[in-house]
Amino acid sequence: MIRNAYLFSFFLQLCFNLQVKTLYSQLAAWNFENVTGAIPSIPILPSSIGAGISGGEGRLSGAQNSGSPTTCASPETWATNFWPTTSTRNTDSYMSFMVNASEGYRANITGINFMLSRSSSSAPSDYYVSVFRWGLETFISSGVVPISGCNNFSLSCNVSGTSGGPLEIRIYLYRQNSAAMTATMRIDNVTISGTTEVALPVTLGHFSGDCNEQNFPMLEWDTYSENKNHGFWIQQAFSDLIFKDLHFVLGNGESQTRKKYYWEDKVERRGLVYYRLKQIDFDGKTSFSKILPVSCENGSMMITIEDKNAITLFLGNQTGQFEEWSLFSLSGTRLQSGKMETLTPLIKIPCPAMRTGYYILLLSGKKSQIVKKINWVE
């Protein structure tokens, strides 16, 4: 019976981790051939965008938009000057190249390419590259720009955005010669490579359950990413597999890092109990996890009187230890006895014509025995 229930739940299970349609592409590129005038207008739109990207732009912070000279790999090259003269980057001075994912898609950056050229040795000599998202920066690379030539920089990374959200590349330039602040730094052929994919509301990882010694079910699960995740309704069902909302657990909203969740029921359960997670977006959309069967048969022994003709024993973690049962009066007279099925955790002892009072139940086996006092009420 238990085996059939497990098989049934297996065929019914639904997963968060559906197959994701992934598009491999150049997310956006700037070759600056689309700018007009000696000094390009900011924001500078990309020359091209990839599938799953709604747009992008290039901006400048803390420096001067100098012009579009004809150097480097193509006729037009974006030039800037008045960069920090300090030996470390100024977090307010950078070139910015942003891509924005289309609604329902998430962008993942895997590579950044660009060309840098110094107009002279007085131009900034150092660079620092990061990805900016959710108000936080992820460092990618830093180094020195050679004095001569148009130098190509190819950087690898693995940074993901959120559904319909932006990812911003920041290139910081510094160590400009204070005596020649008009020396320019030229940038050309900026390319952001990566993938776009259909953004699932939640990417669910581990989902498991168990029962503690008090037969309280415990659930654990984690997520690898969350997008507009309001939270989870823990749903519970029994043998009929009719699920009902039991407890709500608040989600993390937006996350691209692993998040762990834990919940413990405060009601004792017996036998197989089924759980699943109903995930809810901020916009009210829902999706369901797989169905998880939890076997609550590991707790301590429990004795109940369900009707006037029988005593029910739940043996829990003592299943298999006893072979016989005997029922005695308080004076020591044996009233009834019988054999027990050793591998059955649930035993029903027939007790017809019992009267109100106290009795002694003896369970015995080859290695152990136990005595329980029972208060029988008609």
Distance of CA 29 to the CA centre of its chain: 31
Domain of 263, CATH number, reads 2.60.40.10
Q: Give yes or no for residue 367 having a pLDDT over 50.
A: yes
| pLDDT > 70 in the chain, percent | 87
CATH assignment of the domain containing 114: 2.60.120.260
**Residue 355 pLDDT exceeds 80:** no
* Cβ count within 10 A of residue 274: 22
42 and 134 inside one domain: yes
Span 284-309, pLDDT tens digits: 888 888 888 887 765 566 676 656 67
What pLDDT was estimated at residue 356?
78
> Above 90 in pLDDT, residue 281?
no
- pLDDT confidence band for 18 (50 / 70 / 90): very low
Residue 195 has pLDDT above 60, yes or no: yes
The mean per-residue pLDDT over the stretch 261-285 comes to: 86
* 168 and 32 part of one domain: yes
Average pLDDT of span 197-221: 82
The per-residue b/e assignment along 19-53, b for 16 or more CB within 10 angstroms, e otherwise, is eeeebebbbbbbbbeebeeeebeeebebbebbebb
Q: Are residues 371 and 343 in the same domain?
A: yes
Q: Which of 296, 321, 354 is the last residue of a domain?
A: 296
Distance CA 291, CA 329 (A): 47
Q: Mean pLDDT over residues 324-337, rounded?
A: 84
Q: What is the pLDDT of residue 1?
A: 40
**pLDDT over 90 (residue 117):** yes
Per DSSP bridges, beta strands 64-67 and 22-30 are: unpaired
Instruction: Answer whether residue 10 shows pLDDT above 60.
Output: no
Q: Say what percent of the chain tops pLDDT 90.
A: 38
Going from the C-alpha of 94 to that of each of 80, 131, 173, the distances in angstroms are: 10, 12, 7
Same-domain check for residues 45 and 66: yes
Domain that holds residue 359: 302-376
| Lowest-confidence region among 127-136, 144-153, 267-276 | 267-276
Looking at residue 14, its pLDDT comes to 36
Task: Specify the higher pLDDT residue, 241 or 37.
Answer: 241
Q: Which helix (H) or strand (E) holds 12?
A: helix 2-12
Q: Same domain, yes or no, for 244 and 353?
A: no
Reported pTM:
0.55
The verdict on 69 and 135 lying in the same domain is yes
Task: Identify whether the C-beta of residue 33 lies closer than 8 Å to the C-beta of residue 70.
Answer: no
Quote the pLDDT of residue 248: 95
Number of domains into which the chain is organized: 3
Is 116 found in the same domain as 37? yes
Over the chain, what is the mean pLDDT? 83
Q: Could you tell me if 229 and 281 are in contact, meaning their C-beta atoms sit under 8 angstroms apart?
A: yes
Domain end residue (candidates: 198, 216, 248): 198
Same domain, 35 and 78: yes
Q: How far is CA 200 from CA 182, 225, 254, in A?
A: 48, 9, 12
Instruction: Examine the domain organization and report whether 146 and 228 are in the same domain.
Output: no
Whether 10 and 75 map to the same domain: the answer is: no
pLDDT at 162 over 80: no
Q: DSSP label at 102?
A: P
Give the CATH number, domain containing residue 348.
Answer: 2.60.40.3080
Reported confidence tier of residue 361, pLDDT bands at 50, 70, 90: confident
112 and 9 in a single domain? The answer is: no
**Does the structure show a pLDDT above 60 at 17?**
no
Is there a single domain that holds both residue 310 and residue 230? Answer: no
Last residue of a domain, one of 257, 272, 296: 296
